[in-house]
Amino acid sequence: MTEFKRVFVDTAPIIYYLENNVLYMEPVKKFFEKCLEENIQIVF
Q: Is 22 contained in some domain? A: yes
- Which pLDDT score is estimated for 35? 95
Domain hosting 31: range is 6-43
pLDDT of residue 2: 66
Structure confidence by residue, pLDDT tens digits, 1-44: 468 899 999 999 999 989 999 999 999 999 999 999 999 999 98
DSSP run (H or E) holding 38 = none
Are the C-beta atoms of 7 and 43 separated by less than 8 Å? Answer: yes
Give the count of domains, the chain.
1
Is 1 contained in some domain? no
pLDDT of residue 15: 93
- Whether 27 maps to a domain, the answer reads yes
CB 9 within 8 A of CB 42: yes
The β-bridge partners of 43 are 8
